[in-house]
Amino acid sequence: MPKQTPTRKTPQDLRSFRWMGSDDLRSFGHRSRLKQMGYSSDDYGGKPIIAILNAWSDLIPCHTHFPQRVEEIKRGIWQAGGFPVEIPVTSVSETFMKPTAMLYRNLLAMEAEEMLRSQPIDGAVLMGGCDKTTPGLIMGAISANLPAIFVPAGPMLNGNFQGTTLGSGTDSWKYWAERCAGNIDNCVWRGVEEGIARSPGHCMTMGTASTMTSIAETIGMTLPGAASIPAVHSSHSRMAEASGRRIVEMVWEDLKPRDILDQRAWDNAITVDMAIGGSTNAIVHLIAMAGRAGIELPLERFDEISHSTPVIANLRPAGKYLMQDFYDAGGLPGLLNRIGDLLHLDCATVNGKTLGENIQDAGVYNDDIIRPRGNPVSPFGSTFVLRGNLAPDGCVIKPIAAEARLAKHTGPAIVFKDYADLKARIDDEALPVTGDSVLVLLGAGPLGAPGMPEWGMLPIPKKLLRAGVRDMVRISDSRMSGTSYGTCVLHVCPESAIGGPLALVRDGDMIELDVQARKINLRVSDAELTRRREQWRPPQPRYPRGYGKLFAAECTQANEGCDFRFLAADGSTPEPDIY
């Protein structure tokens, strides 16, 4: 049930009152410095101070429209009687950050938490959307546990090239494969480059960005319907303004993330992840996010829910359409309405209503995009969890984005010791690879790469592409882009860099994949594996200093969410002293 709010806060109850309200020298300093910025006491006196955590920079194309949205959020905050302050935070750019944006998700989470805690903030608007920014900001907000509302960036417009619709990522990989196979020329390739990303907004396939913003809405951290609105739609501006208005009320009501995010909210998140055909990356992020709320999500919970949840969103990479189409078909509220019997509808949300109240009148306007329950894209959820002697702590696969013929497959391993080795040899004409081979990539996990990059969709060797092969079994301890596809076994735990069984695979070893049985096994005797383990030596640490060293020391494995141990730890952090 939503949190009961019998009494509203008074201005003296505001957290910022500790900074502003006392008749002492320190408060004098705080007030005088606001005046230095041109604000009078009419602007801020007795008002909730609302931080707008803005993950914008000139190198995050998915957030290009944020400078305008900030002004719209501020407009809403002023209207509702709050005092807005914009605080830039790390713009974790999926496009440009190397080796991977995932290396910096926890940095953003830590920064968001500390920016809120250390300053006179009563509530927060979280502006994100590009892959890691959604979990990073929400993880930080859960730990800070101040009233917070998420404003998703929204998907970009559909891509297009010569009348053919293009989807972020998904069609990049497809056209690249055809180029490598010699089926398209440079002119077409450049045309795809011009047309695949043609407006502000995050990737418009059901990749990680759309998955995570849909999840943010499902768990109740956005206004209803916010996640599906295209970034450049005028509704997006109105949603931003409304979010600004609402956060002020949330402060007076003292409605905080941990009042909303109980076990049922996370089960809803997994259910929706399955029903939308969500990204495999959502598993890592959800485990980390729930962990911040003190809730453990074992991998098995994802598999249990996938058994009972059909995929009904017909969106790429698993389906046909894109987010702009999804929005016009009714968007996430329409989808939630169609799976309402699978959800905990009494969960609280940021607008003060239950999830059920928010979606009870939501409609669906295109049954091919949001399928009826009797005609799903897939009768089971989008992600399965596998185990076996190759992955004792689990790994994941997205069978709906893979060729069905490979769901039960046994083949000889071709092992690449790291990505550099893969790049050097994958297209070697002498590589003894066939369509039945199993490509294995080591050294690509949270600690090995480090940062667990999206290297898991290993490229098909060019000679096989020319022969018409478009999918193979691929296994790694890395992740895969949510926009990608293929029979890719991902997140193998424990990872190879800490001596997981993946590190013991040799060329020619037979590997057995059985998706329906949820099995992944290396057909090598225990005695031989023991002999290999005795010979195994850990790799040298990649970073001798700096943030990379901190990451390597503190990052957990994928089945634990890849959070930092000291951030995921139980217990509360005290409010700062003000002397």
Residue whose CB is less far from ligand FES, 194 or 507? 194
Strands, E assignment, 241-363: none
C-alpha distances in Å from residue 98, one per residue of 73, 103, 169, 352: 31, 8, 17, 40
Residue whose CB is less far from ligand FES, 14 or 203? 203
> Whole-number minimum distance, CB 501 to ligand FES, in Å?
32
> Whole-number minimum distance, CB 285 to ligand FES, in Å?
13
> Whole-number minimum distance, CB 368 to ligand FES, in Å?
25
> Whole-number minimum distance, CB 96 to ligand FES, in Å?
9
Alpha-carbon distance of 170 to 485, in angstroms, equals 7
> Whole-number minimum distance, CB 139 to ligand FES, in Å?
18
Residue whose CB is less far from ligand FES, 131 or 217? 131
Chain contacts with ligand FES (rule: CB under 6 A): 62, 94-95, 130-131, 168, 202-203, 207, 209
Three-state SS at 292: helix
Residue whose CB is less far from ligand FES, 478 or 557? 478
Residue of 454, 538, 460, 519 whose CA lies nearest to 490: 454
Q: Please list the alpha-helical segments (H only) found in 123-232.
A: 133-144, 170-180, 186-195, 208-218
Residue whose CB is less far from ligand FES, 133 or 478? 133
512: left (phi over 0), alpha (psi -120 to 50) or beta: beta
Angle between helices 331-338 and 263-275 (to 10 degrees): 100
Backbone angles phi, psi at 522, to 5 degrees: -100, 120
> Whole-number minimum distance, CB 240 to ligand FES, in Å?
18
How buried is 71 (Cβ within 10 angstroms: 0-12 exposed, 13-18 middle, 19+ buried)?
middle
Residue whose CB is less far from ligand FES, 101 or 465? 101
Residue whose CB is less far from ligand FES, 112 or 231? 231
Residue whose CB is less far from ligand FES, 167 or 394? 167
Cβ contact 220:350 at 8 Å: yes
> Whole-number minimum distance, CB 62 to ligand FES, in Å?
4
Residue whose CB is less far from ligand FES, 61 or 548? 61
Residue whose CB is less far from ligand FES, 131 or 418? 131
Alpha-carbon distance of 109 to 125, in angstroms, equals 14
The neighbour count for residue 548, using CB atoms within 10 Å, is 16
Alpha-carbon distance of 2 to 352, in angstroms, equals 7
Alpha-carbon distance of 243 to 79, in angstroms, equals 11
> Whole-number minimum distance, CB 131 to ligand FES, in Å?
5
> Whole-number minimum distance, CB 446 to ligand FES, in Å?
21
Between the two ends of the chain, the Cα-to-Cα distance in Å is 40
> Whole-number minimum distance, CB 51 to ligand FES, in Å?
23
> Whole-number minimum distance, CB 132 to ligand FES, in Å?
9
Residue 213 has which token pair? 């913003």
Strands, E assignment, 65-122: 83-88
C-alpha distances in Å from residue 25, one per residue of 44, 149, 375: 18, 33, 68
Residue 508 has which token pair? 């020619």
> Whole-number minimum distance, CB 61 to ligand FES, in Å?
7
Cβ contact 452:396 at 8 Å: no
Residue of 123, 128, 342, 70 whose CA lies nearest to 248: 123
Q: Could you tell me which residues are beta bridge partners of residue 54?
A: 88, 127
Cβ contact 319:313 at 8 Å: yes
Q: Could you tell me which residues are beta bridge partners of residue 361?
A: none
Residue whose CB is less far from ligand FES, 210 or 383? 210
Residue whose CB is less far from ligand FES, 378 or 484? 484
Residue of 343, 335, 334, 332 whose CA lies nearest to 305: 343
Alpha-carbon distance of 112 to 88, in angstroms, equals 9
> Whole-number minimum distance, CB 482 to ligand FES, in Å?
8
Residue whose CB is less far from ligand FES, 48 or 201? 201
Alpha-carbon distance of 574 to 1, in angstroms, equals 28
Cβ contact 199:63 at 8 Å: no
